[in-house]
Structure 1
Amino acid sequence: MSKVTTYINDTVEEMRDKVSWPTYAELQRSSVLVLIGSLIFALVVGAMDFVFDSGLTWFYNQF
């Protein structure tokens, strides 16, 4: 049990003292960048899906 307690105490100390946490402004900027990147990725994948669907529908209607 002593090892578990030591592990938890060391973990708490490292998270409090040694981890460099971003400021609120940095966190907001990063969140906005992730949101924009996700939207762009979703639009690209959606466009690819539309093109493939349209192309395959056209191809199968030829027969």
Structure 2
Amino acid sequence: MQDSFIKLSQFLKLNDLVQSGGEAKHLIQDGHVCVNDEVELRRGRKLHVGDRVTFAGQTYDVKAIPSP
């Protein structure tokens, strides 16, 4: 059974926190996004249910992984 995940850049786009993948890439690489209270610089970081993403002063919980 394969573990379900979503990439950090996809999470930001799906939650309307950024307009494009390019914007997500730059914000992540510039250190503006934290995962589980640690700065994350990898846009391909795999998020799992229970992870917490902090961006622009707001924290978002990963509650469900969308089906492909």
TM tier relative to shorter chain: under 0.3
Larger fraction in strand: 2
Question: Taking CA–CA contacts closer than 8 Å with sequence separation of 6 or more, which of the two structures ends up with the larger relative contact order?
Answer: 2
Larger radius of gyration: 1
TM-score by length of 1: 0.21
Larger fraction in helix: 1
